Structure 1
Amino acid sequence: MVSQSSSVGYTIMGKTADLTVVQKTTIDTLHKEGKTQKVIAEEAGCSQSSVSKHINREAKGRKRCGRKKCTSKRDNRTLERIVKQNRFKNVGEIHKEWTAAGVSASRSTTHRLMKDMGFSCRIPCVKPLLNNRQRQKRLTWAKDKKDWTAAEWSKVMFSDESKFCITFGNQGPRVWRKRGEAQNPRCLRSSVKFPQSVMVWGAMSSAGVGPLCFLRSKVNAAVYQEVLEHFMLPAADQLYGDADFIFQQDLAPAHSAKPTSTWFKDHGIPVLKWPANSPDLNPIENLWGIVKRKMRYARPNNAEELKATIRATWALVTPEQCHRLIDSMPRRIAAVIQAKGAPTKY
């Protein structure tokens, strides 16, 4: 049921919509003239309860409703300072330190005020530890490459190793189940003490990805040179053909060994100088993350099934995905400069 009075306002099923400025002005004027609330409601085109609430709300000398706050602004500033001093403390420890400063408040009040300040308890992002020297080298490197365009970065072949496990940690998929199905085998996620894993080497450019290499042993200089000979060179032919390219690798011992450097010189392949502990600058790290997220719902039973799943998922990577990741390099460089060499969101 909808009743309407002129164009001032309307009432819906006995409950009024928010009063307009015109309605509020009409109510205030008629109330000053001594009109009854029933007459005011008819003139303003709203319910009588809305008129009553508006008049009471505008009444002079009305005190603020609700319980008086038990903490002052100064107490709240103290709480915020305590939280910022050590962001890894739990609510109990923060509350104990806050009350020790002379504040009388409950633990729930402490938690509520922290939320009101914008603090939320989250799993921290994991980043490599960087000392001052490494930060400075990252900053210098970024400033040196800040004028490189996306077209120049497309000439770089990025490479890296990554470890894949049969189980992908505790942050795996959730399961849909009914009451009483907690022990249903189809609702269980298997875990073992020492899960099988494989180490994989891969390479990418803006044109796509190269063939994967599954590493069977610890990677030393000799093993790494075999990977370069049998997998990196074919990947270069596949992605670049006869065009020139620059090879990127991190500073792992096998990569920076003298025999490896000699191998690159003998083959006439330029290697991009790279700062230490800088996975956020390598777009293939993001590609490994994409592949692992796609594999989250796979349930391989052994290492061979795991390898087959990795191969199948790697084959689904499109050149468009690689191109977007390579295009992010100028933004990554800018982020490192802005962070003065510290880790970035990438």
Structure 2
Amino acid sequence: MSTAEPKSREMFSAKHKARVKSTAVPRDPSYDPSRAWRKTNIQNWEGRKGNIFHRAAFPTSTGICQKTGRKGQANQASNIVCKQEARRPPQETKSGAAFPTRTGAVQCHEALKKQESSSGCQTPNSTMAKTKELSKDTRNKIVDLHQAGKTESAISKQLGVKKSTVGAIIRKQKTYKTTDNLPRSGAPHKISPRGVKMITRTVSKNPRTTRRDLVNDLQRAGTKVTKATISNTLHSQGLKSCSARRVPLLKPVHVRARLKFAREHLDDPEEDWENVIWSDETKIELFGKNSTCRVWRRKNAELHPKNTIPTVKHGGGNIMLWGCFSAKGPGRLIRVKERMNGATYREILSKNLLPSARALKMKHGWVFQHDNDPKHMKEWLRKKHFKVLEWPSQSPDLNPIENLWRELKIRVAQRQPQNIIALEEICMEEWAKLPATVCKNLMATYRKRLTSVIANKGYITKY
């Protein structure tokens, strides 16, 4: 072997080492693969045994998007190319640097995607999120500051709004003399503004007008619409179809009496209402709808026994109760087994009213409230020296005991009595459990009832 051959081998080895050393990735633990390099800085690695070729490009924000052709941050996923997947661990060169494999390229890709999402950059495959609309006050401030002589940049910094948005609002004000949202494109309304006013006025005059009636009215006027369109139009006007509430029948004489009562007692102090014993009767059904009941269930499970309320014909029986209470708590509660007439009512009061007043420790001069107003009852109460509160007829919303009846019926329904005897026992137990704080709160807010009657011009209120 000639002496020139070893020299040529040494020269080739030195050149190869220099090339590998210049192209190898440094093994720096702080190396960040997601750091943006310039687009022209493309490095190639080549391995002798594995025939592995990797090419990675890390474009900056001034790169060319491969999909749109516009300047901006390109899609890093398309710039990481692997010619052949490595089937063995990375080989190390004599200099100690490792050849990058497909795993390293994928890690670079994931790091770049993470950097892109954190920096808020948009890629060709991502969608622009809808920005938040500026309030009317902010738009007016922008116009006022511009008219005061401030620049768009100064307004943007002061209000924390993008400069482009500031400019757009100023241009809109100059062009359209308004900063409000302009009409957008879309299908025209099926019903004209005049038609909307017509159907709104119709249902305001007669709330029991059906959708079919309104469809026919518009069809006669030359506009053909569906019932769904009628519903959507009325919803946009703040009108919603609801079940009509059942309330006591009020004649003009009842309305006048209710207004008179509310105005006379509107300024009464709270202490006066705390010295009143309120009374009334109620009927509780055994299997009837004493109160609303809601259940949590899955779809198509409405007929499961746990999700139903059992009913029988004619309610399965009921009991009539008479009770009283004051701000200090509930009084006596008894079952009325006979038909309620004058004699029965007098017997109830004579046996239960005074004992209730003593148990509640009512002050001297306490007042009795009831809605039984025959003349013979007035005479009997006068002889017994009971001070009676003048009461307007057909006014259950003015009697706070109705709130206690509702609470009692809810508690009884939760215990699900199965017969009349159990129903009576449960009613007595739950009535005794009613807290005195509830009774006191009803008296503390009684003035609101009177205010509602006056505001509603004597008609039934929400109470």
Q: Shared topology, TM-score over 0.5?
A: yes
Relative contact order: is structure 1 or structure 2 higher (C-alpha 8 Å, sep ≥ 6)? 1
1:313 paired residue among 430, 441, 449: 430
- 1:221 and 1:257 in contact (8 A); partners too: no
2:382 paired residue among 250, 265, 290: 265
- 1:168 and 1:296 in contact (8 A); partners too: no
Find the counterpart in structure 2 of residue 245 from structure 1: 366
SS in 1 for 2:119: strand
Find the counterpart in structure 2 of residue 256 from structure 1: 374
**1:339 Cα shift?**
2.3
**1:191 Cα shift?**
1.0
Moved over 6 A (4+): 60-63
Find the counterpart in structure 1 of residue 459 from structure 2: 342
Find the counterpart in structure 2 of residue 64 from structure 1: 184
2:220 paired residue among 100, 119, 124: 100
Written as runs of structure 1 = structure 2, the 5 A alignment for 1:1-346 is: 1-3=117-119, 15=129, 18=132, 64-169=184-289, 172-177=292-297, 184-195=304-315, 196-241=317-362, 243-251=364-372, 255-258=373-376, 260-346=377-463
Q: How large is the Cα RMSD of the aligned pairs? A: 3.3
- The Cα offsets for residues 209-252 of structure 1, whole Å up to 9 and x where unpaired, read as 1010100011111111111111111111111356320000013x
Task: Give the partner amino acid of 1:197.
Answer: N
Change (3 A) 1:236 1:118: same
SS in 2 for 1:262: helix
Unmatched 5+ residue regions in structure 2?
Answer: 1-116, 143-161, 177-181
- 1:172 and 1:296 in contact (8 A); partners too: no
Change (3 A) 1:65 1:313: same
How many residues get paired?
A: 308
- The Cα offsets for residues 176-219 of structure 1, whole Å up to 9 and x where unpaired, read as 45577655444442111112111110101110110101000111
Distance 2:220 2:442 in 1: 50
Q: Judge which range, 103-112 or 201-210, deviates more.
A: 103-112
**1:310 Cα shift?**
1.3
Distance 1:105 1:184 in 2: 40
Distance 1:75 1:170 in 2: 43
SS in 2 for 1:114: helix
Task: Give the partner amino acid of 2:430.
Answer: T
Change (3 A) 1:3 1:242: closer
- 1:162 and 1:199 in contact (8 A); partners too: yes
Using the aligned pairs only, state the percent identity: 28
Superposition TM-score, scaled by structure 1 size? 0.78
- 1:92 and 1:107 in contact (8 A); partners too: yes
SS in 2 for 1:211: strand
Distance 2:216 2:383 in 1: 65
- The Cα offsets for residues 99-129 of structure 1, whole Å up to 9 and x where unpaired, read as 2333332222111101111111112222211
- The Cα offsets for residues 299-335 of structure 1, whole Å up to 9 and x where unpaired, read as 2111111112212221221111111111222121222
Superposition TM-score, scaled by structure 2 size? 0.60
Distance 2:449 2:300 in 1: 49
Distance 1:184 1:209 in 2: 38
Distance 2:261 2:128 in 1: 69
Task: Give the partner amino acid of 1:110.
Answer: I
Structure of higher CA gyration radius: 2
Q: Judge which range, 333-342 or 75-84, deviates more.
A: 333-342
